[in-house]
Structure 1
Amino acid sequence: MAPEAKVSDTEFNLKDELYHGKCMVPPPRNQLKEGTCFIQTSCTCTESQNKRQGALANPQEDFEVTLSDKHLFEQYKKEHQDSNHTGFTRLLKTLEITERDGIIGTKGEGPFKISSFEEKEYIHYAKPSRCRKAPDPPPKIPQGVQKLLRLGHVMAGTFNISKNYKKLKPGDIYVYDDLRPERSKNLRTCSHAVSIVGYGCRGGVWYYVFQNSYGEGWGQKGIGRVAMSSVTHLVQV
């Protein structure tokens, strides 16, 4: 069998690419309260969906509203204060609220809703084995996800956190290290929600480009990269 052709380094990033002449990615958010990444991601994806709808309107409309993370967090706590939700479940619950009730803007505008959301199924590639055998083939970008991103859909994604995450430098590709997981107070593996804005391949490693919620001072003006094999969930919004 002939070896696979080497894939050239490439990257697509909605932060830099216009869709119908408009930017689909709102400015980076800054989660001042730990454990609210699912709130920030839901707000970013909702703002982006409204930007996309405005770009497709005739005549076009500019959506410049900053949605209130405080408003969404209060809605979430009101409904799920006594629940024991973690990680991805929290993200799904906030997206349910956003689809049903919407989020108001910081100046009282709205509320603004999302029309729908759907978790995407894609091939899961096992992490490279620690045994002495041939490594697993590198994961490739799912064609359906590639198409959605190029059509201006900012998506929500989650991945688990290991200790190397906090040592990332701008431009690094984050790869989850299951030997060094970051643990919460109840000893669960910490996870993180982000807004997926692109994809790429570097040195044979396929990855997603994401916008974080630590402000523009993190990464490359708020942008980071995570290996596709490290992403645990992906949601089309």
Structure 2
Amino acid sequence: MKNAGKGSRPSSRTHRPSRQILTDGAYETIKELVMDNQLEPGERINIEELARQLEISTTPVREALARLESDGLVRKRALTGYAVAPLLDLASLGHLFEIRHLLEPHAAAKAAKLATDTELANLREMVELMRTDDIGDAYGHYRAFAAHDTEFHALVACYSGNPILEQTLAGLHLQWHLYRLRFEPEVGLDTIAEHASIATAIVQRDAVAAAEAMREHLRQSEKRLLPVAQRRS
């Protein structure tokens, strides 16, 4: 193999980030704008302007928006392009929690019966991770906490042994919609305590207690969010 000459140009790959890296960066940046309501609910998204602000081409911005659409955070409209998804109103919040009350306590009870020892350890670990996460008012300060919160509920659904139930809950993208309504540090602390109660009951393989702990978590979550939804309705 020949050595590169002194005047050889280094490969552009060395200097230029891959498109996937650009897309990932655009995804996180736009998501933060949406979660912090800097892009307001219903606002049309100007792809060219975003690309200029991020100093990238429009391609990774479009790919990022497609991912955010699958998250339920933006919507694609015919002829007009992408717009930020609306916040949950009072009726939508009620419908969402109705589904959660039907499915998630059942998932917790099933997980208490079916989860393996490794899976039980995963639940305990997720609660401990949440205890170490930063909790602040802005999305950039609670990003990891929100991700672990989402993963905790996903693990409970997964360990229920019912893939259709798991897919149904995942398809709701419920955590992101709820965080857009309200997040404050004390909400995070309450959530950790409630998750710990759910995990403890599942680890103890107490299906009745696991279902009740999940119901209580859902009741408290709805109670925390209800005033916000009422103000918007």
TM class by shorter chain equals under 0.3
Larger RCO: 1 or 2 (CA < 8 Å, sep 6+): 1
TM-score by length of 1: 0.25
The structure carrying a bigger strand percent of its residues is 1
TM-score by length of 2: 0.25
The structure carrying a bigger helix percent of its residues is 2
